[in-house]
Chain A
Amino acid sequence: MGAPFDYSYVFSFLPKLLSTLGVTMLIVAGSLLVGIVAGFLVALPRLYRIPVLNAFSMVYISFFRGTPILIQLFLFYYGLPEILKLVHIDLSRAPVMVFVILTYGLHTGAFMSEMIRASVTAVDRGQVEAAYAMGMKGHQAFLRIVLPQALAIAVPVFSNMVIALLKDTSLAFTLGLMEMTGKAQTLGNITQHFIEAYLALAFIYLVISFTLEKLLLRAERRLMRHEVPESAARKRFRVQEKLSYRRIIAGIRPEKGGAEL
């Protein structure tokens, strides 16, 4: 198959592939945006147990989590215009990109909603009670107390999702969208150097995934700064502190603020 392997092609393909990086990143960014909005809308009925909407959310989540993204792409690209034709909306001229972002967005949204639900549920109930007890209103307690802590819990999951999404976008070429994978195939077809094209492609995906992971890790550290791990030196100090404190407290009578040990 194709021409004999020549590594110089790998290098010459890199800039050509990178010229379509913008398309891939547009799919990722657009889908994330749609996904976050959809995720919130779908998570809310489940968090607040709103009767009918809750059932809708569950069907939505099962569908997008339970079917392959490739099938979803085909269903949306070929099926949605047909359905909308019935209500006289013509989508035949809509750019492919719209369908791609919509499908990836809704797909990601299903996973996002589960992430949001799990993170919000994971925040200690006592935190909300403390906020209410000091006289905060519902939205203040959610925005100021629950959300920041939920975000910190969500970041590692979110990070995985972004990387999964990035790699999933490589299927958009099946609808004829000229993103990076599509470009690699075209380059392979023209030059017959398929392996080199895919090597260059894999390298680019790897670098982007790696960079995204590092960036999100940094965000996680920042959001989690309240859970500072203690240094060994500090721990030793604390043990001593406790010992001496124990001795002092034991010497004070309980009615003077000491404690029976």
Chain B
Amino acid sequence: MIQLTDISKSYGKNVVLKSIDLTVNKGEVVVILGPSGSGKTTLLRCVNYLEKPNGGEIAIGDYRVQCKRATKKEIHELRQRSAMVFQQYNLFKHKTAIENVMEGLVVVKKMPKAEARLKSIALLEKVGLADKLDAYPSQLSGGQQQRVGIARALALEPEVILFDEPTSALDPELVGEVLAVIRKIAKEGITMIVVTHEMGFARDVANHVVFMDEGVIVEQGPPSELFHNPREERTKQFLKRITPELNYSI
């Protein structure tokens, strides 16, 4: 279970997050929606401390960190309990696909190389890249790179995987293959927090949808409710704008 309590973040006078509370149950897929600049990516990056929150508490599983006085050691512990899939993939450019997946296992989890290799091969097979083990990121398409990124995150067996707009940088025709992989692992009961603009994906895969705007959570609930019966005016506006196909008459 992931619990964020009273998380706040500001850059100078610019307040990005205003006292956010969010609970994610084990095995749940939580999708965070919202217009750009609403703080959703910042919130996600606070969970693994890539952004330092100004205050609040982060708990992953039974590990709790008070943000104000988090030590290096605590941050390191916290980061080992999560994994992240980035918008720009951020694969290690000087390592092959399999080396990218093995890296965390060998360096962070101290797994013997041979064992790490077998596990990495299995994971790359799972994301459909069994034939690309020795390819460098520069030789892979965006979709393939992102699938390696997902395999890399899975390898660490984290308590939660954080997806930061995993399909936003992809060519439209490559979005499908990445979403298909995320769907597949969602079914396996891995806890995920996903920031995305893919409404179809959110509707089908999420157990819980969070709508953020201007640094606060405006509304949250199961997707059936939030999409079809939003309570807040701001949510209605947003959904109307982002799913224009509903209004088109051809």
> B80: which of A135, A148, A223 is its contact (CB, 8 Å)?
A135
- Taking the complex as formed, is B179 at the interface, i.e. its CB lies under 8 A from any CB of chain A? yes
Residues from chain B with a CB closer than 8 A to the CB of A255 are 200, 204
Interface string of B64-91 (1 = CB under 8 A from A): 0000000000001001101110101011
Q: Does B107 contact A (CB under 8 A)?
A: yes
Given A250-B173, A254-B200, 17 additional A-B pairs, CB 8 A: A124-B90, A126-B88, A126-B90, A129-B90, A131-B92, A133-B82, A133-B83, A133-B86, A135-B79, A135-B104, A136-B107, A149-B94, A230-B139, A249-B176, A254-B176, A257-B179, A258-B176
Number of A interface residues, CB 8 Å?
A: 38
For B198-225 the 0/1 string (1 means CB < 8 A from A) is 0010001000000000000000000000
Q: Is the CB of B108 within 8 A of A134?
A: yes
Q: Is B48 an interface residue (CB 8 A)?
A: yes
- Count residues of chain B with CB under 8 A from any CB of chain A: 40
Which of B104, B156, B176 has the largest count of A CB atoms less than 10 A from its CB?
B176
A245 CB–B CB distance under 8 Å: yes
Q: Which residues of B contact A228 (CB under 8 A)?
A: 136, 138-139
> Cα distance A246–B143 when bound, in Å?
13
Contacts of A204 on B, CB cut-off 8 Å?
A: none
28 A-B residue pairs with CB within 8 Å: A124-B93, A127-B93, A129-B90, A130-B86, A131-B92, A132-B50, A132-B79, A133-B79, A133-B82, A133-B86, A133-B162, A134-B83, A134-B103, A134-B108, A134-B153, A135-B80, A135-B104, A136-B107, A136-B108, A145-B92, A148-B94, A149-B93, A226-B94, A227-B93, A238-B141, A242-B173, A259-B179, A261-B172
